[in-house]
Amino acid sequence: MVSAWAAENRVVLGQVKTEEKSNDITAIPELLRLLELRGCIVTIDAMGCQTAIAEQIVEQACDYVRSLKGNQGTLHKEIVAYFRWAQRSCFKEIEYDYCETVEKDHGRIETRCCWATEDIQWLEQKEAWSGLQSVIMVEAEREVIGEKRTIEDATSLAASPPTLQNHCSSCVDTGP
């Protein structure tokens, strides 16, 4: 079952059952066709990060924030490497947005740092992603009392400028 969830309103907008011996990738386009999404930001986890799905979202007059993992070859690693390089150079001559969130709950502290930039001319695969305007990296640091501290990087592609109010909440919804 694939569901469309309105994060702001906390309600399911629609669902499509996946075919037997199939996966979410085939159901996502069908679910998107059923919904009036004009002007919305569609977030999808890494499984739905496919160029055809990105094209469909843009054709439906929407923006997207797509989580990346190893499912897109080296793209995730390239974006992490870019942001690490930018951090080492103190983002010299690079326009970017940044936000940080801290959550403390149940003996755990989680700090998320989010960077977003429209500087994507270096990205070789940018033409393959319909509407691509920015890349995002979220670094999540988790500390649990009595356990080892962990750090995880998540990256996303976005078909909208790097407005962090939107991207940070979108990345938190689908990120690490």
- The pair of three-digit structure tokens given for residue 144, joined into one six-digit string: 């649990």
Q: Average model confidence (pLDDT) for the chain?
A: 87
Phi/psi of residue 68, each to 5°?
Answer: -115, 150
pTM over 0.95: no
Tens of pLDDT along 148-176?
899 999 999 999 876 655 555 545 554 44
The answer for residues whose C-beta is within 8 angstroms of residue 19's C-beta and 6 or more apart is 26, 27
pLDDT above 90 for 23: no
Q: 162 with 134: CB under 8 angstroms?
A: yes
The domain ranges of the chain are: 1-35, 42-174
CB atoms within 10 A of CB 82: 20
State residue 174's pLDDT score: 45
CA dihedral 41, 45, 51, 52 (to 10 degrees): -80
